[in-house]
Structure formats: structure tokens, C-alpha cells
Amino acid sequence: MIKYILRRLMFLIPVVIAVTFVVFFIVSLSPGNIAAMIIGDGATKESIEQLTEEMGLNDPIIVQYGRYISKLVTGDMGKSYATGKDVSSEIASRFPNTLKLTILSIIISVGISIPIGVISATKQYSILDYVGMVLALIGISMPSFWFGLMLIIRFALKLGWFPSGGAEGWTSIILPAVTLGVASTASITRVARSSMLEVLPQDYIRTAKAKGVNKKDVIMTHALKNALIPTITIIGLEFGELLGGAILTETVFSWPGIGRLMVESINRKDIPMVLGTIIVFAVGFSIVNLIVDILYAYIDPRIKANYR
């Protein structure tokens, strides 16, 4: 097991490096002269040239990337074009907010979706099943940012139970977390249900029943554990979607996380900040995938066996 974890970790590092390169490369294709933007009005051709040279923007991409990555490993992501402050400290101060939001979201999601998925599967064709599935379908079809707006209208503006934005007080995280979690709840419910439906007719379930295992244990010990295997993969994928969704949700709720920071930076053409936020997101996603893979191996002994 340890060997497996170590091997996956080793695989993670080149992937992360490659990701940073890809992101860096794509972002560097941005049109527009950065030096010109920074200097602003009244920029002369000479001053633009000088600043460009100073910032090393005339060097080949690989060199620029090398510079960036070497600074990155020390935690230095450069300085914001907009504020001049350290990118890494900006991100570090906002990151916990995004983390709080996504973790709460995924907990709510998993907490709701797995029980509903299991019940839907075991009581297939019942009213509960149909209602559950319709709601799940609507959940994945609804734009999360619109849902957020609807929640704000009803629960913040009309009823006043929650603030309509910002991070003041513990109630402020509820609406954003629910908004963020809706799509993933719906998605995980569907997968949990379909995995259970695939597992329930399996022969080993029949064996368990023939042994006299009681109904509850058949579902929880035998069926659910097996059904969780594909479900966990989806939970990992959904986390990735959550990261994307966080960008939108933070915008809707003016939530002070790195998602909103990214959007603002893009609109301000603050390249170092954009780069920094995207990289943090991408690395975060890779780490989550790693955790999911490890969990997967932990649950399914057949995977572990391949890495003996």
C-alpha cells in the first residue's frame, strides 16, 4: 500500500510541473503588450522597450518559464501588475476561504447524495426514486450561478435569513456552499444510484442473501462497498468541477476566495495573479485526484494487488 502511495506521489510531481508549464505557455500567448499596459498612458516607445527588456519578456518562452518555476519553488509567484503586492501572499490569504467553501460543499454533497442514491436504487420505481431522479436531473441541468442568484433573491433579499454576499458571519457560507454543491450532489446521486443498480443483481449479492445476511447488511456491507468504487471516482471528478464552479459561485456571492480573485485578475489583465490562481487550482485538483486514487486502492483490493 505504501509503495502504491509513493509511486502515485512520484507520478504527481512531473504532472504538476507539466501543468504549470502548460498554463504558463498558454497564458503567455496573451495578446497585448504588458509593458505598455503597466506604464499606461504616456508610454513612450523607449520606455516600453526598456520595461519589456527589464521584465525579461523578450526572452524565449522556455527561459521565462525556467525563471518562473525556479521562483515558484521558493514560493515566489511574482508581483501583481495591478497592486504590486506579492501574488503568493494575496493567494495565501484568500485560499482558505475557497478551501472552506469547497470542503463544506463536498461534505454536504456526499452526505446527501449517497443515502439518496442508495435508497433510490433499493426502492427502484418507487415515488421516492422518481422524485429523486427528477430532482437530480434538474440539479445537473441548472446553471449553478443562476441557482445562486435565485437563492439570494428568495433567502437573502426576500426573507433576509442570509447575507447576499461577502463572508461576514457563519451564515454567509451557507448559500454559497449549497449553490456550489447542487450540481455535484445531483451528479453523485445519479452515479451512486446507477452503481448500486449494477451491483444489486450481482451473484455475490445473491450468495449473501442465501447465507442469511439480513437486508440492511446486504445493502451496506456487500452492495454499498462495491458500489462506492465507481462512485468515488466520480466524487473526485466532481471535486474538479467544484473548483471550476467555485470560480462562478464566488463571483455571484462576492465570496473572498481565489476564484473571484482569478476573475478579477483576468479582467484586469494581471497576468502574474492569473497565472498564480490557475496554478493553485490545477495543483489542488491534481492532489485531490491523487487522494481519490489512493482511496480507490484502499477500498478495492484488486487494485492494491497490482502494485504488490
Partner 1 sequence: MDDKILEIKNLHVHYKTEDGVAEALNGIDLSMKKGQTIGLVGETGAGKTTLGLSILNLIQRPAGRIVDGSIELAGIKIFEKTERELEKIRGSMVSMIFQDPMTALNPIITVGEQILEVIKIHQKLSHKDASEKAREMLEFVGIPRERFGEYPHQFSGGMKQRVVIAIALACEPQLLIADEPTTALDVTIQAQVLELMKELKEKMSMGMLMITHDLGIVAEICDEVAVIYAGRIVEQGRLVDIFKNAKHPYTEGLFNSIPNIEDRKEELIPIKGLMSDPYNLPKGCSFYDRCDYAMDICRDKKPDKLYFNDKHFAECHLYKGNKDFLLKYAQAED
Partner 2 sequence: MTEIATRQKVDLKKKYKKRSQMADIWIRLKRNRMAMIGLFILIILILTAVFADFIGDYEGKAIKINAKERLEGVSKEHYFGTDEYGRDIFTRIVFGTRTSLFVGTISVSIALTFGGILGSIAGYYGGKLDNTIMRILDVLLAIPTILLAITIVTALGPGLVNLMIAVGISNIPGFARVVRANVLGIKDQEFIEAAKAIGLRDHEIILRHVLPNCMAPIVVHSTLKVAGAIMATAGLSFIGLGVQPPRPEWGSMLSSGRAFIRDKVHVVLFPGLAIMVTILSLNLLGDGLRDALDPRMKQ
Binding mask 44-83 for partner 2 (x = CB under 8 A): ----------------------------------------
User: Which is closer to partner 2, CB of 104 or CB of 266?
Assistant: 266
- Determine, following the binding rule CB under 8 A, whether residue 108 of this chain makes contact with partner 2: no
- Determine, following the binding rule CB under 8 A, whether residue 1 of this chain makes contact with partner 2: no
The correct pick among 96, 157, 166, 204 for binding partner 2 (CB under 8 A) is 157
Q: Shortest gap between Cβ of 293 and partner 1 (angstroms)?
A: 16
The correct pick among 1, 18, 62, 69 for binding partner 2 (CB under 8 A) is 18
Point out which residues bind partner 1 (CB under 8 A). 202-204, 206-215, 221-222, 225-226, 229, 299-302, 305
Distances in Å between the alpha carbon of 140 and those of 134, 187, 195, 290? 10, 6, 18, 25
- Determine, following the binding rule CB under 8 A, whether residue 143 of this chain makes contact with partner 2: yes
The correct pick among 140, 205, 294, 303 for binding partner 2 (CB under 8 A) is 140
- Determine, following the binding rule CB under 8 A, whether residue 151 of this chain makes contact with partner 2: no
Residue 210 contacts which entry, partner 1, partner 2, none (Cβ below 5-8 A, type-dependent)? partner 1
- Determine, following the binding rule CB under 8 A, whether residue 281 of this chain makes contact with partner 2: yes
The correct pick among 146, 202, 204, 217 for binding partner 2 (CB under 8 A) is 146
DSSP string computed for the chain: -HHHHHHHHHHHHHHHHHHHHHHHHHHHT--S-HHHHHH-TT--HHHHHHHHHHTTTTS-HHHHHHHHHHHHTTT---B-TTT-SBHHHHHHHHHHHHHHHHHHHHHHHHHHHHHHHHHHHHTTTSHHHHHHHHHHHHHHHS-HHHHHHHHIIIIIIIS-SS-SSS--SGGGGHHHHHHHHHHHHHHHHHHHHHHHHHHTTSHHHHHHHHTT--HHHIIIIIIIHHHHHHHHHHHHHHHHHHHHHHHHHHHHTT--SHHHHHHHHHHTT-HHHHHHHHHHHHHHHHHHHHHHHHHHHHH-HHHHHHT-
Q: Shortest gap between Cβ of 195 and partner 2 (angstroms)?
A: 14
Q: Note the residues at the interface with partner 2 (CB under 8 A).
A: 15-16, 18-19, 22-23, 26-31, 137-138, 140-143, 145-147, 149-150, 152-153, 157, 240-241, 243-245, 247-248, 251-252, 262-263, 266-267, 274, 278, 281-282, 285-286, 289
